[in-house]
Each structure stands twice: as structure tokens, then as C-alpha cells.
């Protein structure tokens, strides 16, 4: 874990968006970073495709975790 310094403007935008999306400011920033990383690595990927990819990845991780503990 680390500290990421961002502009006051971006922080305010993250605060407003996190409130609308019912996320913490940190969770909102992390969401944007994950999406940005995916799109940077896959330039033809749309926002919707990136979100779907992250959702499928989370589902697969959950299944793996449940298989190990169940």
C-alpha cells in the first residue's frame, strides 16, 4: 500500500463520483486506475468491456476462493 498524490481538482471529482457510486474516495480512485490500466494495455477495449473484464475476473477469483475454503 502506498500514497498517491493527486491534484485537488481530481480529488474533488473523485469525491463527488464516489458519493454517486456509493464507493469510498480510495475505491473510486482505484476503480479509475484499474480501468485506465486495462485500457492502456488494451487500446481497443471500451469502458464497458473493461468493466465486464473486471467483473468476470472478480467472479473467477470468488469461485476459486470458495473452492479452496468449501
Q: Residue 51: how many CB atoms within 10 A of its CB?
A: 15
Question: All 3 cell numbers of residue 35?
Answer: 480501468
| Banded model confidence at residue 65, pLDDT cuts 50, 70, 90 | confident
Taking 90 as the threshold, does the pLDDT of residue 9 lie above it?
Answer: yes
| Banded model confidence at residue 70, pLDDT cuts 50, 70, 90 | low
Looking up cell 469525491, which residue turns up?
A: 15
pLDDT given for residue 67 in this prediction: 83
Query: pTM for the complete prediction?
Result: 0.78
Helix (H), strand (E) at residue 40:
helix 25-41
C-alpha torsion sign, points 20, 26, 27, 33? positive
Amino acid at each position: 500500500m502506498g500514497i498517491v498524490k493527486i491534484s485537488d481538482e481530481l480529488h474533488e471529482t473523485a469525491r463527488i463520483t464516489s458519493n454517486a457510486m456509493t464507493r469510498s474516495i480510495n475505491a473510486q480512485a482505484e476503480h479509475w486506475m484499474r480501468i485506465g490500466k486495462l485500457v492502456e494495455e488494451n487500446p481497443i477495449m471500451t469502458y464497458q468491456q473493461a468493466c465486464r473484464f473486471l467483473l468476470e475476473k472478480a467472479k473467477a477469483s470468488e469461485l476459486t476462493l470458495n473452492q479452496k475454503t468449501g
